[in-house]
Amino acid sequence: MPTTRETILTALHARLSALSANALRSDVLPERVPPDGLLIFRDGEPGEPEVTLSPLRYHYQHRAEIEAVVQGADRDAAFDALCTSIGTAIAADRTLGGLCDWIEAESPRSVDLPVEGAPSLKAAVIPVILHYTTTDPLA
């Protein structure tokens, strides 16, 4: 049976996979970026939990990351559309069907990456904070 953390991460990746961009999980940047863009979901770090006693609970603010990448002549508009679609997907259900307490994305930190012999890439890391509670750090 998967842990609470893995269940939440899998659900968020599934939500991202429903977007028009190709969504990978913990993968490397491929040689070619699909026309609709590319998302690479990174599991990130759960961080130190706040602990409550009686009953024992571990409250996490898990920091995951989404790497968003687009390429092409109109990459600024494509990047904006991709970021908007991520925000809409997260806002549609901020608890992932009750799996976690809250999900919130932070502003993207974008960069332009030159590619020799091809149009440059526009990429960003979008931090996503997942608030959830477990009964055990390994559960």
Question: Quick one: pLDDT at residue 59?
Answer: 98
Question: Quick one: pLDDT at residue 67?
Answer: 96
Question: Quick one: pLDDT at residue 102?
Answer: 98
pLDDT tier for residue 119 given thresholds of 50, 70 and 90: confident
Question: Quick one: pLDDT at residue 44?
Answer: 97
In this prediction, residues 59-72 reach a mean pLDDT of 96
Give per-residue pLDDT as tens, 76-102.
999 999 999 999 999 999 999 999 999
112 pLDDT exceeds 90? no
Here the tokens at position 58 are 């571990």
Question: Quick one: pLDDT at residue 117?
Answer: 80
SS (HEC) of 91-118: HCCCCCCCCCCEEEECCCEEEEEEECCE
Amino acid at position 105, single letter: A
For each of the domains in the chain, give its residue range(s) and CATH number, in order of start.
4-134 (3.30.2000.10)
Residues in the chain: 139
31 pLDDT exceeds 90? no
Mean per-residue pLDDT over the chain, rounded: 94
